[in-house]
Amino acid sequence: MSSLVGNYGRYDVAFVKGNGCFLYDEAGREYLDFGCGISVVSLGHCNPTVTEAIKRQAETLIHTSNLYRNPEQERLGERLSRLSFGGKVFFCNSGAEANEAALKMARIYGNKKYDGLRYKIVTMKNSFHGRTYATLSATGQEKIHKGFEPIADWFIHVPFNDFDAVDKACSKGDVVAVILEPVQGEGGVCSVEKGYLERLRAYCDKKDILLIFDEIQTSMGRMGHIFGYEHFGVKPDILTTAKALGNGVPIGAVIAKPECADYFVPGTHGTTFGGNFLACAAGNAVLDVLTAEGFLASVREKGVYFKERLKAVFGSKAVEVRGTGLMIGVQFHEKSADFVRECMAEGLLVIPAGMETVRIYPPVNIDRENLDKGLAIIEKVLAGGKF
């Protein structure tokens, strides 16, 4: 009997080694990893640049606490600020913590600037923002709330891509922020519709409502840009990132415009481990790779190729193949979970998501040959006639 808490429905396989886009189990069997640990190891397993940075930092200094200056953290913060919209950066350990901090930042903004009269936050149905108490309450999926009711009652869940619903939710003047994922990953790789973000941005500017983008899954090259919002051309007031920022080393970050970030002063928020030397060394190494000349353009080029090949491979078997860059979702009519298992049996790892969708997230530095290997496995699974 395992001594572990049974809160995960784990597959019966244990991996002991990784290299690039491949994982190896205890028996030495090779798997092509098109899930990247749910969009975390986006530069592949044991990426040489990241591994070297971690080794070097581990031999130098790992942790001192946030009581002291940290040049590695300052460097990563400066780079994230410069690569985004010039905001200030707070580091933590995960996406949930980043979203928790963003929500607190919005609440303190409303409390300080509007004497507590603005405290509600509009969030989207089918969204996923984490599993802390505030972030699960922000999440727009009842299955995530189940067992933990009553959830925090200051979130208003509205249909995704429904501007009128946002306008109605904000009509009483008590809303301080709107939070959304530009692409809902957990929800089934569902993107904002054309024009929605532009309209939302203009509305929030007019009403002095903060616009928060949860980019835990969509940033760090997954969509062919450092941040997913670059694909849509609309900047937020607050942005959260995590997952691929450390390529497997736990790290999350909040980037916020000074008019929001400046409400965080000593004593308002903090973290013990967040942004320590080791995590920030990994983050800087990730940015070294992502910002190399031509790298992100190659992700966009591979994304177009892969999506078109997937459409051809699935044909009428899938409801839809959708996504941007190498953040691809394939929605089935049914049995998407079975498809994930069949792929695994053939040596390909993909990830389940909502709406009978399978997420297919290859490493963003994968080569064309291994993309084709993955496609060949999918073709083989489909040829079995079960889907």
Is residue 271 annotated as involved in ligand binding? yes
Is residue 251 annotated as involved in ligand binding? no
Is residue 272 annotated as involved in ligand binding? yes
SS (H, E, C) the chain: CCCCCCCCCCCCCCEEEEEECEEEECCCCEEEECCHHHHCCCCCECCHHHHHHHHHHHCCCCCCCCCCCCHHHHHHHHHHHHHCCCCEEEEECCHHHHHHHHHHHHHHHHHHHCCCCCCEEEEECCCCCCCCHHHHHHCCCHHHHCCCCCCCCCEEEECCCCHHHHHHHCCCCCEEEEEECCEECCCCCEECCCCHHHHHHHHHHHHCCEEEEECCCCCCCCCCCCCCHHHHCCCCCEEEECHHHCCCCCCEEEEECHHHHCCCCCCCCCCCCCCCHHHHHHHHHHHHHHCCCCHHHHHHHHHHHHHHHHHHHHHHHCCEEEEECCEEEEECCCCHHHHHHHHHHCCEECEEECCCEEEECCCCCCCHHHHHHHHHHHHHHHHCCCC
Alpha carbon distance 222, 362 (integer Å): 9
Is residue 33 annotated as involved in ligand binding? no
Is residue 329 annotated as involved in ligand binding? no
Is residue 128 annotated as involved in ligand binding? yes
Is residue 339 annotated as involved in ligand binding? no
Is residue 291 annotated as involved in ligand binding? no
Residues at the binding site for pyridoxal 5'-phosphate are 95-96, 128, 214-217, 272
Binding residues: 95-96, 128, 131, 214-217, 271-272
Query: Residues marked as binding for N(2)-acetyl-L-ornithine?
Result: 131, 271
